[in-house]
Amino acid sequence: MIITSVKNEKIKGLRSLNTRKGRREMGLHLIEGERLVFDALASGIVPDTVLVAQWNDAVKTRIEGMGIPFTEVTNEIMEAVCDTDSPQGICAAVKTPDTTPPAKYPTGLIVALDRIQDPGNLGTVLRTADAFGAVGILLGEGSADPFSTKTMRAAMGSTYHIPIWQGVLTQELPLLKEQGFSLVCGHLNGSETLPATGCSKVLVIGNEANGASDEVADLCELYRLPMKGRAESLNAAIAAAILIYKLSE
């Protein structure tokens, strides 16, 4: 059976996943497009619901070959559910993972984000952290939703490759320090000499407009990227990428 009405209860539920409130209430988030959906499936994600546009025979054949149930919908329904202007003909609702910070953090590089508000920046940092072997992302209060469709698109599948934790940085950073982590914060008032760190370290990146809060910065050693040009600062995602690279060496 093909769903053709936006008033269908399943469709109404899926459409609510385009809001943070809907994602929180349903415990699900939406992923769109062949690359993200199949990357999630390859990561072992078991979808709650998969929608495939009735015209997308290639995707239907691929999904059937994986033994995954799906629901056919009209193109109009796909456009109503998806956040993108021109959907690729497949989307899926999947269970949002638990983002509670661990009692004991894994050894390695953790990237902590203090009130990063742009979904594109958050997704880019996720992708960069994944690329350079970070062991987790710690999101402070006031940060963008890591499971919004805009963040997911920018992350390009890395959402399912690296743990994401959400907590209060002024509580979690002291715990990390107690566990032997070095805390380094990218900051315009920091030293241009990178602090010495061990194998366990936290990189803190602050808000796009205001940087890290004073409460968070006071817990860390501050580091400023040496810049030879006239620009005073960098986009948060660009600065994060450079610092992640430096600290992953």
Domains of the chain, by residue range, sit at 2-95, 109-248
| Residues in the chain where the model's pLDDT stays below 70 | none
At residue 232, the pLDDT reads 78
At residue 234, the pLDDT reads 87
Write down the pTM of the prediction: 0.93
Classify residue 189 as exposed, middle or buried by CB count within 10 Å of its CB (0-12, 13-18, 19+): exposed
Give residue 232's region: left, alpha or beta (phi > 0; psi -120 to 50): alpha
At residue 111, the pLDDT reads 98
Do the domains at 2-95 and 109-248 have one common CATH topology? no
Separation between Cα atoms, residue 146 and residue 72, nearest integer Å: 28
At residue 86, the pLDDT reads 86
Query: For residue 112, what are the CA distances in angstroms to 25, 49, 117, 170, 233?
Result: 26, 32, 13, 11, 19
At residue 42, the pLDDT reads 87
CA atoms within 13 Å, Cβ hemisphere of 152: 25
At residue 223, the pLDDT reads 97
At residue 151, the pLDDT reads 96
The CATH class given to the 2-95 domain equals: alpha beta
Burial per residue of 191-216, b for 16 or more beta-carbon CB atoms within 10 angstroms, e otherwise: eeebbebeebbbbbbbbbeebbbeeb
CATH 2.70.98.10 is held by the domain 109-248: no
